[in-house]
Amino acid sequence: MEPAKKPATRGRPPSITRERIVDAGIEMGLPNITFVGLAAALGVSHMALYKHVANLEALKAMVAEEIFTRWQIPQDCGDADGGLKDYLIVFATSVREFVKSHPGLTPYVIRRAAATAPMLAKIDGHQALIAQGFGVSKEQARWLLATVAFHCMAVADTVYTVTQREPVVETSRAAEEAEMEVELARGMEALVVGALVMMSEAR
């Protein structure tokens, strides 16, 4: 006599975790995220996703927070005797590449009111590192880094938004973007030099 066969059971539905949500959101890109689209990428219903995230804005904010948390901010302080200018230029370049790699992110990181506790903790730790590494006060480090980050994000966001649009005249997008990046780099160097002069005069 054969043993009774167990009834077939359905497989468990895919689990919805924060990590899976943000990974799928990062892959889609902030401008392209929708509840239905992200739920489909996770293999769940959009109603199931609503049980984990309240609305689309909260979903995008969660993804933006994770993108920021994963950003590898340059940490090497280099020559503390004269390298603050060089470091800030390296930092500005990192900010520019960060914005370029993640379209639609700027509104979620440029406003202090939008920053979450993990984002603020990362910013505070970075400021403390630079203050210690270059022998400046925490407030000076905060002001320098915030000034560079704010202006670089705003300008880079404009540059990359513009270069993604159809050109007004026939031209190479790559060439146009490269030209604008050169101007952005020069502008950020001027900002860094001016900020350091202002800080020196304020002492």
* Model confidence pLDDT, tens digit, residues 56-102: 999 999 999 999 999 999 987 665 455 999 999 999 999 999 999 99
Q: Kindly state the percentage of the chain with pLDDT values over 90.
A: 66
Per-residue pLDDT tens for 141-160?
A: 999 999 999 999 999 999 88
Q: Which amino acid is at 12?
A: R
Q: What is the pLDDT of residue 175?
A: 83
Element (H, E) at 108: helix 106-109
Q: Where are the domains of the chain?
A: 18-67, 72-202
Q: How confident is the model at residue 13 (pLDDT cuts 50, 70, 90)?
A: low
Distance CA 43, CA 13 (A): 8
Given a cut of 60, whether residue 1 has pLDDT beyond it is no
Query: Which distant-in-sequence residues (6+ apart) come within 8 Å of 86 by Cβ?
Result: 78, 79
pLDDT-wise least confident of 31-45, 72-86, 134-148, 172-186: 72-86
168: pLDDT confidence band, cut at 50, 70 and 90? low
Which residue type occupies 176? E
Measure CA 143 to chain center: 19
The pTM (predicted TM-score) of the whole model is: 0.84
Residue 193's Cβ-side half-sphere holds a number of Cα atoms within 13 Å equal to 6
CATH ID of 18-67, from 1.10.10.60, 3.90.1150.10, 3.40.50.1000, 1.10.600.10: 1.10.10.60
Q: Cα 201 vs. chain centroid, distance in angstroms?
A: 32
CATH number assigned to the domain with residue range 72-202, chosen from the 4 options 1.10.357, 3.40.50, 1.10.8, 1.10.3470: 1.10.357
What angle do the packed helices 56-70 and 35-42 form, to 10 degrees?
60
**What crossing angle do the helices spanning 117-134 and 138-163 adopt, rounded to 10°?**
120
Structure tokens at 84: 């603050």
